[in-house]
Structure 1
Amino acid sequence: MRAVVVRRFGGPEVLEFSEVAVPAPGPGQVRVKVAAAGVNPVDAGTRSGFLTEAGIIPPRERVGIGWDVAGTVDAVGGGVTGFAAGDSVIGLLDRPSAALGAYADFVVLDADAIAAAPRTVSLAEAATLPLNGLTAVQALDLLDLPPGATVLVTGAAGAVGGYAVALAKARGFRVVAVAGPADEALVRGFGAEVFVSRGDFLADRVRAAVPGGVDAALDTALLGLDALDAVANRGRFVVFAAGAAPIPLRGIKVEHVWVAADGAALAGLVTLVDNGALGLRVADTLPLAEAVKAHDRLAEDGLRGRLVLTIE
């Protein structure tokens, strides 16, 4: 089968197409015939060597690329009862050091890392949900706040930020969204009650809208201290990248969200998609053979939604 792997670090040109053996599912696992794979910034981090330099991926001869999977169950291992061959599913491959990733004809996942695919969208659209949707859910779980709390979301027009706004609204939070001025209508459509354009003196402008500061912040844009300054004393702050945590001033609890595969939580997101409460955004689709082009485009400014690789 075809698989995109990395054997040396660098720009998009280091992505290598290899012929490898089709993997076999073990006990508690399923093999998925991949129809679509999301293209995410973490994929670029793997390819460039950033995740290895950060100590997240140990040095190894070959590393797979791709976390988001949408496709059809092809085979099941022993003990799997919830899925059968032919089922349309989505899932998350959350081991960044895996030798094979989602940019492949087939991928093996633990059965508890997948969920039935949404019925109301294409598999290409569904492939944008697992990594970014679960990251947003698990970040909100870290806040542990009651309904009615005020939550700041930076990067609210981005893939994770957009989900965070919509899911925070669904939990009954009052959402303050930060994005570029041109994206105000977009993020208000996700459910933001208050909009603050990104730029200088962010905390001052947030506090003008929310006296005393917000109860918590999800800093998907990695603004650090600029966003932390908008949080009230003893509030909550969640960061989304290694090394991005600001100093926990004023008793603010700073936590890092490290996403983990969770089929049950993914199924909950699928329900929201099928109910029309959570929209999916595809920036463009490209065939697997154009993975290098997809990584070139990943670096473009203003990309809205996720690029998706489709597997013929």
Structure 2
Amino acid sequence: MRAAGVTEFGGPEVLHIVDVEPEPLGPGQVRLRVQAATVNPTDTYARSGVYAGRDPVKTPPWVPGMDVAGVVAEVGEGVDHVAVGDLAMGVVVPFGPYGGYREDKVLPGDSVVRAPEGVDAVAAATLPMNGLTARLSLDLMGLTAGQVLAVTGAAGSYGGYVVQLAKADGLTVIADASEADEQLVRDLGADVVVRRGDDVADRIREHYPEGVDGLADGSVQDELVLPAVKDGGAVATVRGYRGDGQRDLRVFPTLVRKVAEDRAALDRLRQQVEDGAVTLRVARAFPAEQAAEAHRMLEAGGVRGRLVLTF
């Protein structure tokens, strides 16, 4: 079975095609013939060895990848929400050779739903991980319609999904953007757009002097952006940051692994794509053999939309 993975950790150049064993299918599971696997920043950390200490598999190869789309090839006992032949998408909890960059992937049935109607595998693969992360951030913060949410990194995939999902929830959104990305962020639905930068908290406070009710910190500014939030407000972070302990801020590190089998949430995202509330953005697709080039491009920065590997 072909996969794009590493036998030693390092820079993008260590990614290459490796052979992996097929996974057996058990009850409640789904086998996908993977057509597309999205490249995310967490994949670059996996490739470089950041997660090596927590991976239960200690021998190579290691295969990155947290979301996939492809055709259902087989379903286990008890699975009736997808059928053989369906185009489906799924979120992957990767370990050892079992990440998403492989041409055949067995997943828990509750990690897989049908792809949105009218969407191909490349676009569908961009939704599961980032979409579920954005949804979890909003659920953890627990804001209600009419409250104000600030979003940093709004032009990125996580940030863009947060903006769109927050608007669908009835929130008012103030988001940051570079000059080049301002129209994109407005098109995603942000009510107010401020210039990005280390002083973004001050720019947000210019519009909301008492502070915002919540913050989704997609650009990982951590303590730099906390002053934008009112005392006792909510903050969702994406790299495990737990706040500075001040002003009774409620800080929620967002770990998508906790909702990797939340089929209802994933299916709701599918429906929101079909309804036009959520936009899928593909920057470029690469054959799996060019995974190293996709990682180089992502790490160079400035990518808008997702890079996707195809099998």
TM-score (norm 1): 0.95
Equivalent in the alignment of 2:242? 245
Measure how far apart 1:246 and its partner are.
2.8
Measure how far apart 1:266 and its partner are.
1.1
The alignment-based identity, stated in percent, is 46
Deviation by residue 1:227-282 (Cα, 9 ceiling, x = unmatched): 1110000000111013x333131010111000031221111111111111211110
Measure how far apart 1:16 and its partner are.
3.3
Aligned-partner Cα distance in 2 for 1:217–1:3:
37
Equivalent in the alignment of 1:270? 270
What stretches of structure 2 of length at least 5 have no aligned partner?
A: none
> Would the aligned equivalents of 1:37 and 1:66 in 2 still touch at CA under 8 Å?
yes
RMSD: 1.4
Pair 1:75-2:79 in alignment: no
Measure how far apart 1:15 and its partner are.
1.6
Equivalent in the alignment of 1:279? 279
Deviation by residue 1:102-126 (Cα, 9 ceiling, x = unmatched): 1111000000001111112211011
> Would the aligned equivalents of 1:5 and 1:100 in 2 still touch at CA under 8 Å?
no
Deviation by residue 1:22-74 (Cα, 9 ceiling, x = unmatched): 2221111011000111011111010001123xx54356112221111100111
Aligned-partner Cα distance in 1 for 2:64–2:165:
28
Measure how far apart 1:226 and its partner are.
1.7
> Counterpart of 2:25 in 1: which secondary structure?
coil
> Would the aligned equivalents of 1:2 and 1:105 in 2 still touch at CA under 8 Å?
yes
> Counterpart of 1:249 in 2: which secondary structure?
coil
Q: Structure 1 residues 180 and 57 mapped into 2: Cα distance closer, same or farther (>3 Å)?
A: farther
Equivalent in the alignment of 2:51? 51
Matched to 1:90, the amino acid is M
> Would the aligned equivalents of 2:6 and 2:18 in 1 still touch at CA under 8 Å?
no
Measure how far apart 1:78 and its partner are.
2.2
> Would the aligned equivalents of 2:56 and 2:96 in 1 still touch at CA under 8 Å?
no
Aligned-partner Cα distance in 1 for 2:96–2:9:
16
> Would the aligned equivalents of 2:28 and 2:78 in 1 still touch at CA under 8 Å?
yes
Aligned-partner Cα distance in 2 for 1:270–1:302:
27
Matched to 2:37, the amino acid is A
> Would the aligned equivalents of 1:115 and 1:264 in 2 still touch at CA under 8 Å?
no
> Would the aligned equivalents of 2:4 and 2:63 in 1 still touch at CA under 8 Å?
yes
Aligned-partner Cα distance in 1 for 2:78–2:197:
53
Q: Structure 1 residues 135 and 294 mapped into 2: Cα distance closer, same or farther (>3 Å)?
A: same
What stretches of structure 1 of length at least 5 have no aligned partner?
A: none
Equivalent in the alignment of 1:7? 7
Q: Structure 1 residues 200 and 87 mapped into 2: Cα distance closer, same or farther (>3 Å)?
A: closer
Aligned-partner Cα distance in 2 for 1:229–1:68:
34
TM-score (norm 2): 0.95
Aligned-partner Cα distance in 2 for 1:269–1:92:
12
> Counterpart of 1:72 in 2: which secondary structure?
strand
**133, 138, 141: which one pairs with 2:139?**
141
